[in-house]
Chain A
Amino acid sequence: GAGVSQTPSNKVTEKGKYVELRCDPISGHTALYWYRQSLGQGPEFLIYFQGTGAADDSGLPNDRFFAVRPEGSVSTLKIQRTERGDSAVYLCASSLLGESDTQYFGPGTRLTVL
């Protein structure tokens, strides 16, 4: 079946602009996660959705970052007033229930802020 998909695969933007990154999880997966992976680092947790609600957003670095999942399926990560330090690969993952379930990752969106 279809895996987790993310669009766009690459996004180049200018400092100060607004960007949206989209994640389409595996059908039926109730849990959805966003991670950020900087060069040479492991993925860093940003936010976790269980259904439509953000169950844990403790990883969001500041209030410029926001994510939604209005219908419990597709999620959008939104970054306002982008900064060069936001440049990274943003990964989305989904799992069936959460907890110890395996997370299935998408290919990521590479964000470059000039």
Chain B
Amino acid sequence: AQSVTQLGSHVSVSEGALVLLRCNYSSSVPPYLFWYVQYPNQGLQLLLKYTSAATLVKGINGFEAEFKKSETSFHLTKPSAHMSDAAEYFCAVSLPGSSGTYKYIFGTGTRLKVLA
């Protein structure tokens, strides 16, 4: 079955420290992969996406992610955490569904807490 696994439902880092949010996927076909961020009481906002071009993808707010096919991973990183990065982060895979359509499958999310 196609799926997305996010390890760690809660991650805490100190301000200025490295952020690493893990995402592993399961797919029988080359996937399209996405990271979204959700701030409290807001909709999901796209951080970055992988669509089979460069394996290292740079997104907004200093985030980046690397697609590693051998590890079926798409981990999200940021060199230096800022207080404003505190939010919930979702990894998603876009997979072909019925009738040639595509749909997203989301992970369960990782809530990032940034400590002063």
Q: Which residues of A contact B (CB under 8 A)?
A: 3-4, 33, 35, 40-45, 48, 50, 55-56, 58-59, 91, 93, 98-100, 102-108
CB distance from A72 to the nearest CB of B (A): 16
Question: Which of B41, B94, B101 has the most chain A CB atoms closer than 10 A to its own CB?
Answer: B101
With A and B bound together, what is the CA distance between A99 and B92 in angstroms? Answer: 14
Residues of A within 8 A of B99 (CB): 55-56
With A and B bound together, what is the CA distance between A35 and B102 in angstroms? Answer: 14
Residues of A within 8 A of B9 (CB): 40
Are B97 and A107 within 8 A (Cβ)? no
Are B94 and A107 within 8 A (Cβ)? no
With A and B bound together, what is the CA distance between A106 and B45 in angstroms? Answer: 9
Given A100-B94, A102-B34, also A43-B101 (CB < 8 A): no
